[in-house]
Structure 1
Amino acid sequence: MKNNLIKWKSQAITMKAKMTILKTYVLSKLTYHQYMDNLNEEQIEEINNMTRWFLFSSVKNTYTEERKYKTMMKIDRAYADWKEGGIKLWDIELRHIAFKIWYMNRLLHNNYNNNNNTLQEWYMEQLSRKKAHTSTLNDMCRHWGVFRVKFYQNHPKINELPDCIRNDNDEPLKLKEIYELMIKDRHPTPRRTEWQKLWAVRYNTAIPKVFININSISHQKGRNTLFRFFSRSLPGINHERDTRCKICGHLFRDPYSHLFTLCQDILDIEKTIISTVNKLSFIKIHRWSMDTKGSELLGFARL
């Protein structure tokens, strides 16, 4: 896992690209081992630490096992969907449990349709005798039972050897569906930053609406910059609080508000750039102001 992340670190530019690489080439490989092996707390923390390094640290930052890396957003926000200001980061522990539930559900489905392999037949024989001989089967039964009680109380208990739990399309629940039910139950509403709360009130705009429109922007770097701005996760400035601006020298509390909208030196440079571009190009640009009304601000979705 570490070698793969090191190899891909310099290749991913946007947050979405990083998440795609992380899930496709790294975390998904763990799935094939999860029905046999239980990840302990130390292993989960090691995976999370490497993930934080890959997603949130500088490209030049070399991974050091002894160092504890930090996120640029609260972890419950990171777990949320992109349209809610999150990055759909996996809760590794919960994903691990979801896989066990999914596997048990598939086992019941295959048994109901007389389509089990040798190992699955052995598992079902243990269940029919109401005595599981392996910790793997015990774990799957226990987690499936808890999941059934919480989300599908009317479904028969596992000792009745029922068919699997199905979704609204009458298909066996997919791993993704199981995980999403569990993560939304654990983190129903992502916490907003203080700035997001103030911005939503000031412009009378729901924050999810902002991210839905940002998510529709076709220009990758533009979409990435706006997403990081509104999610308060821009690298390089995110940690700066109650410090002096390196450009104008003024003291500021919020680096986002100051560097993007308040620093007069930056505004003067911006004014010159906009004037020059508009004279030389048929594509006209304008200064983005936080005083723009919410509906106009969301016009960035046309980029």
Structure 2
Amino acid sequence: MPEILNTIRSSLVLWKTTDSTIKTKTNILKAFALSKLTYYSYVENFKEEELNQINKLVEWFLSAPNNKNASGFQVINLMRTKRARYPLKVGGWNIWNIELRQLAQKLWIINQFILALETKQTNSSHHKSWEYQIQKNKFTSRYLKENLDEWNKIRIKKAIFNNNLTSIKNENGQPLSLAEWYTTIQDQNPTIPKTEFQSSLNLRGYSYNQLFNNILKIKDPKTRDTMFRFHARCLPINYLHNKQCPLCKEDMSKDPYGHLFFSCKKTKQFIKINKLKNFIYITTGKGKNWHHTRIRQNNNFINRITPKLSPTAKKDQEVNADYANHRFHKEYFEWNYKAIDYDLTRSFAYRNLMALILHNIWIWICNQIYSEDPLTDESLSYSSLLKKWHKLATLEYIKKAKDLKNLSAKDHNNFKDPKILLTSTIKLRKTTANYYCIPESSLPNIISFDQFI
């Protein structure tokens, strides 16, 4: 086992130097590290000490800074192991539970054996031995007895009560794959763990029903990762709980996230709240989604942006269907937790834009806290953000146009007339412009597409 872990550690060190999202790191961890343990866990279970070593390696790869080695470094874990094992759609990291993974493998082996019984393909000697033990109900193999009992428990939970010994299949009539077995076992405990602060927000009306599902639909990987980490409470600022703010020197209480991103005086100076409101207004639909007025206050003009209510909005206060929901109704836009609650009905543009803004604020916070030579920029550059916004829309348009052209090359029946591709691309251009709330003229011309495809 030590040799295996050393091999895994050596391969992960190379990946550790890259700046990757949590989703990418998780996939790397499974493909290049944890999957190597598969062969060694078919029969024997890992010892507790071995499981601890594996978990420490996982914590180092996901939580430690990129420039820290796997050994001799005290990792400040960004997420507890129990919560990290849950899927991304509920705010976990989708890390394998090694013990459940081992059980899933054993149940998959038993299920494949029973499938062989069904199809009369028990050719191997151990299959014939197992078949005999089951027929006589006399078990000499502890492995078979223990895992057949576990297999029967799943069978009962799936309400399969026929007397015949048949393999457990999925909705498509195929035997469960290893991944499906793992999911089946994992689903026995549907509780979604939350941090203490997430639970307190939940009690105050901050919903988590579709929050992470909506975050996973954000187009740009980097901004999506930052928004996910923020809501999953796994940014490297958890150690700042109940400490003084490193920026404004005020007490942050139990919420460094809310303070650093929303309440900190230095952050407010950086984002210029009035410019932020105007930027959101011009990039998320202007008069289409918002009422915009200018009011005079103390010889200054202030942009007042009020959400425009949809005439078709659902009135059920439990659905969070629209801004009309009285629990979330705002006289004007405010920069706080509710501004990035993706369970509220928001436009495609709004969700992606807020992720872009939050990501750039996070870059600035990191620079101010961790850099030896912090930037002296006094405010967020909204002109740069606007360029990034248009670039994001353009890349999305080009990608979908490529997919459309490839589809037309394969599907000759639906694209017999060359004009169909042109019409579809024009429609795509309008749709993309509408989603990102930008003028069509800012996207590439149809004629110039050959340079992108």
Q: Deviations over 1:205-258 (max 9, x none)?
A: 5313111110001111100000000010002x1111111112111111211011
Comparing 173-182 with 218-227, greater Cα deviation is found at 173-182
Structure 1 residues 4 and 298, CA gap change in structure 2 (3 angstroms): farther
Count of residue correspondences: 290
Identity between Structure 1 and Structure 2 (%): 30
- Asked if residue 81 in structure 1 is aligned to residue 83 in structure 2, the reply is no
* Contact 1:103–1:140 (8 Å) recurs in 2: no
Larger Rg: 2
Q: CA RMSD in A?
A: 3.0
Shift of 1:290: 2.7
Q: How does 1:214-253 map to 2 (within 5 A)?
A: 214-235=215-236, 237-253=237-253
**Which of residues 125, 134, 146 is equivalent to 1:127?**
134
**CA distance in structure 2 between the aligned counterparts of 1:15 and 1:80, rounded to whole angstroms:** 13
* Contact 2:206–2:338 (8 Å) recurs in 1: no
Structure 1 residues 30 and 206, CA gap change in structure 2 (3 angstroms): same
Gap regions ≥5 residues in structure 2: 1-7, 285-332, 354-453
**CA distance in structure 2 between the aligned counterparts of 1:297 and 1:200, rounded to whole angstroms:** 19
Structure 1 residues 72 and 155, CA gap change in structure 2 (3 angstroms): farther
Q: How does 1:1-303 map to 2 (within 5 A)?
A: 1-11=8-18, 13-64=20-71, 69=75, 71-118=77-124, 119-152=126-159, 154-156=161-163, 162-186=165-189, 188-202=190-204, 204-235=205-236, 237-253=237-253, 254-271=255-272, 289-292=336-339, 294=341, 295=344, 300-302=350-352
Structure 1 residues 40 and 196, CA gap change in structure 2 (3 angstroms): same
Scaled by the length of structure 1, what TM-score is found?
A: 0.83
Scaled by the length of structure 2, what TM-score is found?
A: 0.57
Comparing 250-259 with 117-126, greater Cα deviation is found at 117-126
SS of the aligned residue for 1:221 comes to: helix
* Contact 1:85–1:208 (8 Å) recurs in 2: no
**CA distance in structure 2 between the aligned counterparts of 1:171 and 1:102, rounded to whole angstroms:** 13
SS of the aligned residue for 1:292 comes to: helix
Structure 1 residues 116 and 25, CA gap change in structure 2 (3 angstroms): farther
Structure 1 residues 249 and 51, CA gap change in structure 2 (3 angstroms): same
Specify the code of the residue in structure 1 equivalent to 2:246. K
Q: Which runs of 4+ in 1 moved over 4 A?
A: 67-70, 296-300
* Contact 1:83–1:208 (8 Å) recurs in 2: no
* Contact 1:210–1:298 (8 Å) recurs in 2: no
SS of the aligned residue for 1:89 comes to: coil
Gap regions ≥5 residues in structure 1: none
Q: Deviations over 1:153-194 (max 9, x none)?
A: 5154xxx6x2211222222122222221221213x1112223
Structure 1 residues 244 and 34, CA gap change in structure 2 (3 angstroms): same
Specify the code of the residue in structure 2 equivalent to 1:221. K
Shift of 1:58: 1.4
Specify the code of the residue in structure 2 equivalent to 1:2. R
* Contact 2:12–2:61 (8 Å) recurs in 1: yes
**CA distance in structure 2 between the aligned counterparts of 1:136 and 1:217, rounded to whole angstroms:** 46
**Greater relative contact order (Cα < 8 A, sep 6+):** 1
**CA distance in structure 2 between the aligned counterparts of 1:252 and 1:271, rounded to whole angstroms:** 21
Structure 1 residues 43 and 180, CA gap change in structure 2 (3 angstroms): same
**CA distance in structure 2 between the aligned counterparts of 1:216 and 1:62, rounded to whole angstroms:** 33
* Contact 1:213–1:298 (8 Å) recurs in 2: no
Specify the code of the residue in structure 1 equivalent to 2:137. K
Comparing 139-148 with 51-60, greater Cα deviation is found at 139-148
